[in-house]
Structure 1
Amino acid sequence: MRKLPMVLLATAALPMAVNAANTEFSFGGFIKMDAMLSTYSDGDIVDGYGRDYYAPSQIVPGTEPDTAELDFSARNSRFNFKTVTQVEDGKTITSFIELDFSTTAGGNEVVSNSYVPRLRHAYVQYDKLLVGQTWSNFMNVGALPEVADFIGPSESTVFIRQPQVRYTSGDLSVSLENPQTTGAGDSGDNGMLPDLTASYKIKADNLDMTAALLLRQLSYDGPLDGDDATTMGYGVNVAGKLMVGKDDLKFSATYGKGVGRYVGLGAVADVALVGEDLEASDTTAAFVAYRHHWSSQWRSTAVYGMLSADYDDSVTTGVTDATSMRVNIMHSPVKQLTYGAELSTANVERVGGADVTMNRVYFTTKYAF
């Protein structure tokens, strides 16, 4: 992240420079260009963003036995802006906002390839209190492996950003986060209670990991009076990184009832409406990733991920199992610039027995600033 000298701010807007005398401004982000050749056995992509990165819910049974797609995209590029202000009590106030262009609407690929900016992060932190939108406290960002395909083993990792209020004291963080229940014929039902998360950092020798807990009220708002229903959901996650010399082993394991929105990019619905009751879905997911450094400029990562879901017998749609494997080679001639190539394969099974396989060759160039 680059710092912006105060003299430049002063020349642009003197009042801002005066009012921000104790504030440090910085900006950062990256430019990322991806090329993907994907083939699907008995399947296809349901809509746009599954063409940009692996998302199990987007891979669906197709009408043709085999399909293939070649895509070029720069929409995962991003930009962020950060301020750190020293205040009278000796503490600091930090603000952060970040945008990218992924999963949004915009111009088509015929002429412009234009895309609408998308909010990723927007938060302010004072001392131990953070308020705003950022990564869920249930997620360990440091456990994500280095891959070309954006998230990589997306079926098997906790990956979610949302508005929250978080308090951190030492290695313990507790947050109240935006509630949202998926399934039961409605993806927009919020209960009366926020999602509660707690995480604890554990460091020992070469191990750096977190243990996290999630507690949720899952809800369904029926069309008629008296149709509303609620149930409780919970989840546990252990994720981290183990250093093996210069190499590293990253891992994540998650289990829960009603945690579908947090794991696998929403591949599993949180609940199903069974009669007048809500039944939470069971989700088990895990990945392991090993990164080996061939030299100071070359490295490779191999990843295996899995997800398994168990629904009530009344459920007729949804992902039941998903697995993926990938291996890549990354080259950084200088620290800020990375060229990469990746081979991956994924298999997605759905309720009713439909089985789709995706194979993808991925080339990427990324310049971080």
Structure 2
Amino acid sequence: MRKTSLILLASATLPMAVQAANTEFSYGGYIKMDAMISNYSEGEIASTSSGRDFYVPSATPTGNTGNDSSAFDMGAQTSRINFKTVTTLNSGEKVTTFVEMDFLTGSGNEVVSNSNSPRLRHAFFKHGNYTFGQTWSTFMNTGALLETVDFLGVSDGTVFNRQAQIRYTNGGLQLALENPATTVNGVGNTDDSALPDMIARYNFKAGNADLSVAGIARNLAYKDEANNIDESIMRFGMNVSGKLMVGKDDLKFSITKGHVARYVGLAMSSDATLTNKGDLVGNNVTAAFIGFRHHWNDSVRSTIGYSMINADNHADAGTAVNKSSKSMRANVMWSPAEKMTYGVELSKATLEKESGVDGDMTRAQFTAKYAF
């Protein structure tokens, strides 16, 4: 990040900047261009779907049509920019703020402008041991993510979530209260939970490994006054993840189990099912990924990875809901200069419905990225 004292910006900003001479301002981000050609065994993904920009397990077309199709896409929507401040208070304590956005929403007309609206990713501040605002869920271990050409890559088995929270950190221990939501088969997302999602996580080292163990307690809820439905259940989940160094190379993994459907697989399955009797029943999921990165030399490396998720849906969910997804990928990344990366990646994914119908996607992707 590049850093500039706010006092140097005073002439171009509001007078209040003069009062913030003890605040350090920095910015960062990257420009990333992606180009990909995708082949779908059961019809094409809609051009408005996020699955055309990066791998979304639930977006893979399924069926028995045999309607094989291909599509080429190119864009720079994953580019991002962030701003950070560090202020020293009169007491000597420091307050850190961070705001970041990218452009992965609001696709414009590809005929002319290719416009994309800014999207809030992070907005939080830290004071002492506490974090307030929106950032990565405490249930998620970003240190275990693989290096992929795709925006996320091993999406099926990855805990991936950003949301508002209050987090307490003390060494390797993290405790958090986070914004709740319940996804229900046949209903969609609900905001009826009476309690925040409660998360406890512990990060620790063991030899050459950096490990993380996390547990979550959730209040799954659904209300429908018109049909006299007011259901609420407590459910739980856990995650074990980490990175093992093998010389200069690394092995990364994650295993997630429990009633945490919206936290994994980019919400491929739903947290709960509303039964025919009007009861809310949690759907248990099992998700995992593993990947190995090898450094061929100082500037070239490769990652291979496998990812999966399986949902144990209630029978009343029907046969059209997603049952499982899996994907494999391999890439080569080249950094000819600091903060500059070119990469190519080949991936294959399969989505299966409860009915047994499925569909495959094969994708070849190129990226060019420069961080600043």
TM-score band by shorter chain is over 0.9
Equivalences for residues 1-369 of structure 1 within 5 A:
1-6=1-6, 8-13=8-13, 15-46=15-46, 47-61=48-62, 65-102=67-104, 104-184=105-185, 185-224=187-226, 226-257=228-259, 259-274=260-275, 275-316=277-318, 317-369=320-372
- Cα distance in 2 for partners of 1:112, 1:4 equals 33
Supply the AA of the counterpart residue of 2:176.
Answer: S
| SS of residue in 2 equivalent to 1:61 | coil
- Cα distance in 2 for partners of 1:192, 1:20 equals 40
- Cα distance in 2 for partners of 1:131, 1:330 equals 35
Supply the AA of the counterpart residue of 1:352.
Answer: S
Deviations 1:22-79 (A, max 9, x none): 1110000000000010001124325421001111111122656201010001000000
- Cα distance in 2 for partners of 1:122, 1:346 equals 33
- Cα distance in 2 for partners of 1:180, 1:236 equals 17
| SS of residue in 2 equivalent to 1:152 | coil
**Displacement over 4 Å in runs of 4+:** none
- Cα distance in 2 for partners of 1:160, 1:44 equals 27
Supply the AA of the counterpart residue of 1:294.
Answer: W
- Cα distance in 1 for partners of 2:195, 2:17 equals 42
Supply the AA of the counterpart residue of 2:237.
Answer: G
- Cα distance in 2 for partners of 1:14, 1:356 equals 56
Deviation at 1:18, TM superposition (A): 2.3
- Cα distance in 1 for partners of 2:127, 2:341 equals 35
Supply the AA of the counterpart residue of 1:244.
Answer: V
- Cα distance in 2 for partners of 1:289, 1:164 equals 29
Contact 2:255 2:287 in 1 (8 A): yes
Deviation at 1:186, TM superposition (A): 3.5
| SS of residue in 2 equivalent to 1:228 | strand
| SS of residue in 2 equivalent to 1:264 | coil
Contact 2:184 2:190 in 1 (8 A): no
> Structure 2 regions of 5+ residues with no counterpart?
none
- Cα distance in 2 for partners of 1:219, 1:43 equals 35
Deviations 1:272-308 (A, max 9, x none): 0111211100100110110000011100000011111
- Single out whichever of 217-226 and 204-213 deviates more from structure 2: 217-226
- Single out whichever of 11-20 and 84-93 deviates more from structure 2: 11-20
- Single out whichever of 40-49 and 265-274 deviates more from structure 2: 40-49
Deviation at 1:113, TM superposition (A): 0.2
- Cα distance in 2 for partners of 1:64, 1:117 equals 38
> Structure 1 regions of 5+ residues with no counterpart?
none
Deviation at 1:130, TM superposition (A): 0.7
Supply the AA of the counterpart residue of 1:196.
Answer: M
Contact 1:43 1:357 in 2 (8 A): no
Contact 2:6 2:18 in 1 (8 A): no
| SS of residue in 2 equivalent to 1:108 | coil
Deviation at 1:239, TM superposition (A): 1.0
- Cα distance in 1 for partners of 2:66, 2:189 equals 30
Deviation at 1:177, TM superposition (A): 0.6
- Cα distance in 1 for partners of 2:144, 2:67 equals 36
- Cα distance in 2 for partners of 1:237, 1:256 equals 9
Supply the AA of the counterpart residue of 2:251.
Answer: L
Deviation at 1:11, TM superposition (A): 3.6
Deviation at 1:205, TM superposition (A): 2.1
- Single out whichever of 306-315 and 76-85 deviates more from structure 2: 306-315
Deviation at 1:225, TM superposition (A): 6.3
Deviation at 1:175, TM superposition (A): 0.6
CA RMSD of superposed structures (Å):
1.4
Supply the AA of the counterpart residue of 2:210.
Answer: D
Contact 1:282 1:310 in 2 (8 A): yes
Identity of aligned residues (%): 51
Deviation at 1:218, TM superposition (A): 0.2
| SS of residue in 2 equivalent to 1:57 | helix
Deviation at 1:13, TM superposition (A): 3.4
Deviation at 1:6, TM superposition (A): 4.2
Aligned residues: 367
- Structure 1 pair 10–138 and aligned structure 2 pair: CA distance change class (3 A): same
Instruction: Give the TM-score taking structure 1 as reference length.
Output: 0.96
